[in-house]
Structures are given as structure tokens and as C-alpha cells.
Structure 1
Amino acid sequence: MTSTRIDARFAALAAEGRPALVTFVTAGDPDPDTSLALVKALPAAGADVIELGMPFSDPMADGPAIQAAGLRALKAGQTLAKTLALVRAFREGDDTTPLVLMGYYNPIYNYGVERFVAEAKESGVDGLIVVDLPPEEDEELCLPALRGGLNFVRLATPTTDEKRLPAVLANTSGFVYYVSVNGITGTAAPDTARVAEAVGRIKRHTALPVAVGFGVRTAEQAAAIGENADGVVVGSAIVAAIAGSLDAEDRATERTLSAVTSLVTALARGVREARRDAAA
């Protein structure tokens, strides 16, 4: 498989000696135009990698904030085709920021795997995170995605033991996403010491970068996690910032864009200070 934007970005940041800030927003939240404006604004605010959620009506791994974002997006008419169109529009002005689609298999299956992989690659998607496809189902999407030139990013969790880890890592590419807490997104804060231990354990099995997510909400947490991880993933806090800026009918306001960019700027400052503090 040829090198992707994800590979290039993590390599560049490793050379800088700092972790990546990986930001998550839901495609189409709170409406298509605002969503595109938000995604376009993320790199300038400090995002190194963008995860774009594919809205789904039954998001079993997501907490209340991201569930609500998905429902807002679906209500506003977001579809998988429109999500790919959003990526194409983003790529018109940004050909370097890695972009990963994150979600569930059902919408992809209904769209058609071969069609989805081809259109995702053509639109400028770099990788996929599909949370409900275990390694035993790699023929469904993982292997077609890899053959199509897309990274397939797998999740490892606190319950992924030494016996299971090689299977999880077997066809993973781009980076490994370590889920720092058990349960759904955005509901608990990660234990920094345990995260450091887990990242070290995963790195004994793979040369891939390890990004840590679930529960990171502040610049201080991002800095602490970033001392050991190659990337820090923030989703629920950003989605909550969007929700907090909306009006009573869940429509975007003049505060929506700045609510997100100010938070991302603070988080970016945290990850940029992480390794410097560790080395001081």
C-alpha cells in the first residue's frame, strides 16, 4: 500500500517531536453548510488530523453528545453521499490534512462496499474507522479498503489483552486508536498512568503510531496524554461545544464557528506543549 496523508502527517510530527491533535466532528452537524465551514476551519485552529463522523441512527459506541450530533445531522438531511461530497468540498482548499471517516458498517453496506471505497478514495478520504467490524470480518470492508488505498484504523481498548492484540493489529494501518476508557464516548476521564502503560504495551506489538481518545476534554488532559501517545483524539468536547452554541431549534448561531475554533486552538496548544514539558 502506498503512503497516505495519514502516514505523512504522523511521520512529520514524529520528526517535530510532538503528538498529533486528532479532532472529531459529525458530518452535517448542525447543518451541511455549517459543517463544511467547521471542517474547513479545523486545520487553521490546530487540528493535525480530522475524523469525520458518518451519522447513523443506532450509534452504539457513542455517548450522548455524539449521538445527539448524529441525530441533528440526520434531521438536517445528511446522507453518506453528502458526507463524501463534504470531503470533496474540503479537498478543494486543503490537499494535505488527513481525513478519516468514522462510523458504523450498516450505512456503508447499504451504499455498497465497492462503490463506497472507490468514491471515498476519489473524494479525498484517507482512512476509515468502523467501530462494529471486528478483525474476523476483515473481508467485509477492511481488506477492500486497504486494496483501494485507504488506511483502516482499528480500535484497541483496555480489555484488548496480549492474546487478542495481534489479531486487532494484523490489518491495521495509518495509526492505532486506543480507547482510553471502557464504555461509550465522552463519559469518563482517562487515567494518564494507565494510558501510558497501555500505549507502551501496544507499541511493543506494532511500529504504527498510537492515538488515544475517549474522555479527553481539556488542553491539560491533551498535554498529559500527549506525553506518551503519538496522537490525542478529542471528539465529545468539540461536539458539545457545537451543541452549546446552537439556538433553541438546534440551528447554528454566530457563535458556532468560534466555539469550536477557540476550543481546538486551546487543545492544540496543549499537545504542542506535551513533549516540550516532558523533555524539560
Structure 2
Amino acid sequence: MTNATASTPSGQPLGISHKPSPTESMFEKFKAADKPAFIGYLPYGFPDPEYSLKAFRTMVEHGVNAVEIGLPYSDPVMDGPVIQAASQIAIDNGEKIANVFKAVETVANAGGVPLVMSYWNLIFHYGVERFARDFENAGGVGLITPDLIPDEAGEWIEASDRHALDRIFLVSPDSTEDRLKIVADNARGFVYAAARMGVTGERSTIDASPEELVTRTRKAGAKNVCVGIGVSTAEQGARVGSYADGVIVGSALVHTMLDESGKHAVDEAAGLKALAAKTEELAEGIHNARN
């Protein structure tokens, strides 16, 4: 499936938008204050669409600066068991990609920076140009694509340039210097540095490799580098925030809304209360990382 090139009423191709990136503006503000940004992840539609919208608002109101709105996918190769369980609940509840723009609007209206994290197959089948247009119209800022590399992202690069959307690609500790440069040259907003190889999930410790990766990625030309995968406590958030431009937390937030079995969502009141408390705990550690 491909998209016809977007055009003006006269039939001329649309050019590159020169609107500034709200994500980059956010990082500029935090750098001026010598603080890292807090980026939080939740899958849209978990535990159900309306509950998830309240969860996104709760995250922003309690300290998250940018929200990764996850598009649940049936074959989430990068996601660990907590996010897989939440995504399956969302899929079982009938989550559809077309509805995710409600979440984008919710985050934007709450004052957060709305990002979407999605496996490329979902965007491709929705339609690349169609997604870029609908995402921009909803107030969306950037797309994180864990399984799309710049070398194969030509259609997305063109569409994101037309609609002033950030392109957030991933790097990992085993990325070569050449790969880091390719990603840095093609990214807009920030580069997502995976703290380790493997799937997402909470970890009791985080080693030194993410700091080395951030240093290497900056040396390759990246303006902003954020670290994710494994951060689950305020102490870990502070450690990562001492050197990264942003700290990304997913599983630890999702976990607050699952019961002890890890397979079912807790009721709304309890889930939102636990989510607010965990968000505040992490925000305290992350935002004060360099004090």
C-alpha cells in the first residue's frame, strides 16, 4: 500500500513545513534549567479507551512532560510481558488506530507533548500520508518507530517533513558509529537510546552502557538523546537523568494499572491513584537528577 504524494489544490506537491518542533522546544526549556525531561508511556485503549484517556491526563498532571501513546499490536517484538499484557487487553477491548487521535488531543489539551509509539506495519496499513495528516490535525508532535530504520523510512521522512512531525528512531549499545550517524542525521526531536538489548520491562539495576551510548550518539550529531527500557524507580530515573536529555518510563507506569496476576486491569479509581503516585515519584527523581 502506498500513498499518492500530497499536493496543493493546484496539483503542486506540498513542500517541507518549517514549523518548529515542540519536542525540541521542550528540551531547550529543560536544558536551560539543567533538568532532564520525563517521558512516560502507556498503550492507548488500556484498560479501555475512556479509562486510558483519564490515565494520559493523570500522567501529565502529575509530572510527565511528553507522553508516548502506544498503539497496541498483536506481535510486539520489542515489548516485555507487562506492556504485552496491557496491549492485549486494549486489543480485546476493540482498540482501533483511528481512535488514537483522541488520546493525542487529550495529551495536547492537558499541556503535554503528544508522541505516538507504533510498529511500522500499523502506520503502513493505515496509510503513511493519511496518518501524518490526521496526527498533525490532532495536535500530534512525533512518531517513535522501534522497527523502522532511516534507510527504509523514505515515505515517512517525506510525510513527516510535510507535516512538521518528529521522527524518533532507536539506537542500541551494539549500534555502530556509522549507524549512529545515519540515525542522528535523519532524526527530528530526539534519538531514543535503548538502555540495553532486548525487550522492555522493569529492572532492578541499570548498568553503565546507556551513558556510553548517549555519549556516542551525541558525538554522532544527535541534538537530544533520551534513554528508555528498564527505568522503574525514582533512583534509576535520577541516575539516567544525570546524563540523558530525557528519561523514558513505560512498564513501571503500566504496572500500576494491572492486578497481581499481571493479566487484568485494576478498577479505575485504584488504577489512576496508583498511576498518579508512581508518576509523582518518578518525576521527583528525574527532574531533580542534577541537583
Q: TM-score, normalized by length of structure 1?
A: 0.92
RMSD: 1.9
Q: Which blocks of at least 5 consecutive residues in structure 1 are unaligned? A: none
Find the counterpart in structure 2 of residue 175 from structure 1: 190
Is the partner of 1:183 in helix, strand or coil?
coil
Find the counterpart in structure 2 of residue 231 from structure 1: 246
Q: What do the CA deviations read for 1:116-173 (whole angstroms, capped 9, x no partner)? A: 1000000011000111111211213233123211000111101111122111222101
Find the counterpart in structure 2 of residue 258 from structure 1: 273
Matched, 1:206 2:221: yes
| One-letter identity of the residue aligned with 1:4 | S
Find the counterpart in structure 2 of residue 63 from structure 1: 80
Cα distance between partner residues in 1 of 2:258 and 2:270? 11
Change (3 A) 1:22 1:225: same
How many residues of Structure 1 are paired with residues of Structure 2 in the alignment? 274
Q: Which blocks of at least 5 consecutive residues in structure 2 are unaligned? A: 1-17
Is the partner of 1:33 in helix, strand or coil?
helix
Greater CA drift, 13-22 or 241-250: 241-250
Structure 1 consecutive aligned stretches of length 4 or more whose deviation exceeds 6 Å:
245-248
| One-letter identity of the residue aligned with 1:62 | D
Q: What do the CA deviations read for 1:32-84 (whole angstroms, capped 9, x no partner)? A: 11100010111221001111101111111111111111111111111111111
Aligned with 2:102 (options 63, 85, 110): 85
The answer to whether the 8 Å contact 1:30/1:252 transfers is no
Find the counterpart in structure 1 of residue 130 from structure 2: 115
Find the counterpart in structure 2 of residue 161 from structure 1: 176
Aligned with 1:99 (options 114, 132, 135): 114
Deviation at 1:187, TM superposition (A): 5.5
Find the counterpart in structure 1 of residue 28 from structure 2: 11
Change (3 A) 1:78 1:203: same
| One-letter identity of the residue aligned with 1:77 | G
Q: What do the CA deviations read for 1:209-250 (whole angstroms, capped 9, x no partner)? A: 111000000000000111111111000111111113899864
Is the partner of 1:55 in helix, strand or coil?
coil
Deviation at 1:2, TM superposition (A): 2.3
Deviation at 1:86, TM superposition (A): 2.4
Find the counterpart in structure 2 of residue 270 from structure 1: 285
Deviation at 1:265, TM superposition (A): 0.2
Is the partner of 1:107 in helix, strand or coil?
helix
Find the counterpart in structure 1 of residue 42 from structure 2: 25
